[in-house]
Amino acid sequence: MTRFPRAALVSLLAGGLLSFSGCESNTLPTAKQGIPSPAAAELSALPARPLDLAMLRPSGDAFRLGPGDVLEIEVAGGIAPQATVTVGPDGKVYYDILPGIDVWGLTLPEARDRLGDEWRKYLREKPVVTLVLRSVASQKVWVLGRLNFPGVYALGSPTSLLDAVAEAGGLGVNTLPGGSYSEAADLSRSFLIRNGHLVPIDFERLLRDGDLSQNVYLQPDDFIFVPSLRSGEIHILGAVVQPRSERMAGPLTLIQAIALAGGTVPGASLPNVAILRGSLAHPQIAIVAVNLVLKGKASDVALEPGDIVYVPYSPERVLARYANLIIDTFVRTVGVNEGAYTISSKSRPLTVGVNLTP
């Protein structure tokens, strides 16, 4: 297990918005009016997003060297002693009398040929060079959250999502009186981010039901997070003063939740405040005209544990695209905070807003 620099975390989670296939014609529902306050949200279900089947197969790309990788080098004929070297931060290896040889981004055969070419400058013939990869440090995946051994793991061979969870010790559990156990991981809110995009994996189907159609192969810099199963917590994101997670101590309405986040910022689009409910794989969304609620012309809405409240900066008229934005914001802010905690080993940020300050 190795820690990553902050810059790698920000680069990992930065990226464009996601897209739902086949949903562009779904327009936003309006909030139901004239019902006793607080009202239940009028939810619209969204279809599951398809998973790219190519992700279920190991990548055919050859391994490429990077800083931290350890190589064993041997030159035939006893020209130079066998040695174990590490690719430096500059991407170079330093071996015997050779100057620093840049191998960053090369495959093992390419690096071997480059070393042979360098030796040829000192010899009559190009020698036979043997190059063996002893350990990998340049390619890693983040496997964090409610696992027995969360951390950052090397990715030196084809590794599936199940392999990574197993390497991290499997899902954490709570020990109950009498020696029984209960789930401690919230699979409905678990996620995998790749290149700043949420990969549409149903963790419940994979880890609870054993559905291998969700068992994607990982790529370098993938970010996996399995949150704790926490009851009574809601999340307020978007155009609010202090985006945050808030534990519900009792009944909580939409307006109260926004107030706990310090209220809205100038320019917030109050007619289009969203509540996202359910699992990330099968979300439901409701749109509430908060401006009418504040004027007493519409009923407030009662929240439920796990709800994500999103106050937009500008109106969005396509339901799938809006839900996509909310999920993208949620997973990347949670991911940044969890990654920052892993890097700093200090206390967690108090909110789910992006906050890289230790």
Pairing state between β 70-75 and 44-45: unpaired
Which pLDDT belongs to residue 17?
33
| CB-based contact 154:3 (threshold 8 Å) | no
Strand partners, 226: 145
C-alpha span between 328 and 306 (Å, rounded): 16
Low-confidence ranges of the chain (pLDDT < 50): 2-3, 15-37, 346-358
Which pLDDT belongs to residue 312?
92
Cis-peptide into 38, omega within 30 deg: yes
In the chain, what are the domains?
25-50+230-344 (3.10.560.10), 70-135 (3.30.1950.10), 140-226 (3.10.560.10)
pTM of the model: 0.74
> Residue 319: what are its φ and ψ, rounded to 5°?
-60, -50
> Residue 57: what are its φ and ψ, rounded to 5°?
-120, 145
Alpha-carbon dihedral sign for residues 176, 177, 179, 180? negative
The predicted-structure confidence for 89-112, as pLDDT tens digits, reads as follows 999 999 988 889 999 999 999 999
Which pLDDT belongs to residue 348?
42
For helices 6-13 and 319-344, what crossing angle results, to 10°? 170
Spacing of C-alpha 313 from chain mean position? 24
How many other CB atoms are found less than 10 A from the CB of residue 164? 20
User: Any idea what the Cα angle at residue 271 is, between residues 265 and 273, rounded to 5°?
Assistant: 70
C-alpha span between 95 and 110 (Å, rounded): 16
